[in-house]
Structure 1
């Protein structure tokens, strides 16, 4: 990566010197510099995107361009679709979270990566997360799958392109949510965490999703066409916050599998 940036920087200096040596306008020089710097930014952003995880999108230039178009679309909608706004979510219907017992998450919402997809938050600074939290988060899906083998499967997440493990409701369950039987995007996926920064995606009822967003534990998913109950949970920082995340994952299990655990 450093070699690529160094090469672009060297090229930029040569280009500027070449242009200055000719009787060209200052505007041409400025344009050349802007184009070169833009190229350097794009190359850096592409490699950052691949390094942090692409959310299942092929880690290629074609995949990057596809995600960049979504990013530009979101920028054009800036101020029109705040994903932390719970009002687009209905509070009616089935719920598995007791809204009254879910505390409001303390502090401000975390900063998210500027890209629309994959939906991720910026990792917290060292020392922000209590000891033991990362281990509990990393083991959570496997722990649930081992505890409830009759209703859950642990396998690579299709929504993450196989880059993270997820818990799925067994498709043979007679209690399986009707939505899970027909949803081509989520199928019967319940939850997965993101190893890079320990945030989650979970599938809960729309009413529970509203509670999660209202209480600042997460936010809505940015893409249309995905069920409104599919939400992102912020990285837990303390053992108490992991407890809340576990309650939310249990609610997701109940919603998708039809079995309360």
Structure 2
């Protein structure tokens, strides 16, 4: 089920798109016991972070998203490099209040969890750091994984 919900302006450039792709790959490598990088179960194309098969489904939000933690809009008609992610209620509130994202149009319906947000496309490296932190928070919420210590 793909329901268009995309960013309409202020897109990052191609260099930023490459950095976003790299960030998603790096996160998959950073949490190999908790997540897997695969095609989005919800979009049916594009990269997504999913709960690894060996991790049990922790809660209803994970079940509703077919264990998908986040995906980036990199393919299809509406390529904008925004993303959808599932966050804790507390993190959802912070993301929305700080203007980093908004609730997905179907969030809180029978099909989608209330914690399902669209995260805006980062336009700079400082915004990419924020998005990376948001994705790590989503990984933690969806898998229970603690952030690895910085190397």
Normalization by structure 2: what TM-score?
0.83
Aligned match for 2:47, one of 165, 174, 181: 165
| CA shift for structure 1 position 204 | 0.5
Q: 1:235 aligns to what SS in structure 2?
A: coil
| CA shift for structure 1 position 143 | 1.8
Query: Do the aligned partners of 2:102 and 2:119 also contact (CA within 8 Å) in 1?
Result: yes
Name whichever structure is richer in helix by fraction. Answer: 1
Q: Distance between the aligned counterparts of 2:14 and 2:69, measured in 1?
A: 26
Aligned match for 2:98, one of 196, 210, 215: 215
- Displacement over 3 Å in runs of 4+: 129-132
Query: Do the aligned partners of 2:61 and 2:113 also contact (CA within 8 Å) in 1?
Result: no
Question: Counterpart of 2:59?
Answer: 178
Query: Do the aligned partners of 2:61 and 2:115 also contact (CA within 8 Å) in 1?
Result: no
Question: Counterpart of 2:18?
Answer: 135
Name whichever structure is richer in strand by fraction. Answer: 2
CA RMSD of aligned residues (A): 2.0
Stretches of structure 2 that go unaligned for 5 or more consecutive residues are: none
User: CA, structure 1 residues 246+177, in 2 after alignment: closer, same or farther (shift >3 Å)?
Assistant: same
Q: Distance between the aligned counterparts of 1:164 and 1:131, measured in 2?
A: 16
Q: Distance between the aligned counterparts of 1:123 and 1:188, measured in 2?
A: 29
Query: Do the aligned partners of 1:130 and 1:238 also contact (CA within 8 Å) in 2?
Result: no
Q: 1:167 aligns to what SS in structure 2?
A: strand
Q: Distance between the aligned counterparts of 1:212 and 1:178, measured in 2?
A: 21
* Mapping of residues 110-259 of structure 1, within 5 Å: 117-124=3-10, 129=12, 132-161=15-44, 163-173=45-55, 176-179=57-60, 183=63, 185-195=64-74, 196-223=79-106, 224-225=109-110, 226-259=112-145
Query: Do the aligned partners of 2:55 and 2:143 also contact (CA within 8 Å) in 1?
Result: yes
Q: Distance between the aligned counterparts of 1:222 and 1:155, measured in 2?
A: 24
Stretches of structure 1 that go unaligned for 5 or more consecutive residues are: 1-55, 58-116
The number of equivalent residue pairs is: 140
Q: Distance between the aligned counterparts of 2:30 and 2:94, measured in 1?
A: 26
Q: Distance between the aligned counterparts of 2:66 and 2:89, measured in 1?
A: 17
Q: 2:132 aligns to what SS in structure 1?
A: helix
Q: Distance between the aligned counterparts of 2:13 and 2:37, measured in 1?
A: 27
Greater C-alpha radius of gyration: 1
Q: Distance between the aligned counterparts of 1:209 and 1:219, measured in 2?
A: 8
Q: Distance between the aligned counterparts of 2:30 and 2:144, measured in 1?
A: 16
Query: Do the aligned partners of 1:168 and 1:188 also contact (CA within 8 Å) in 2?
Result: yes
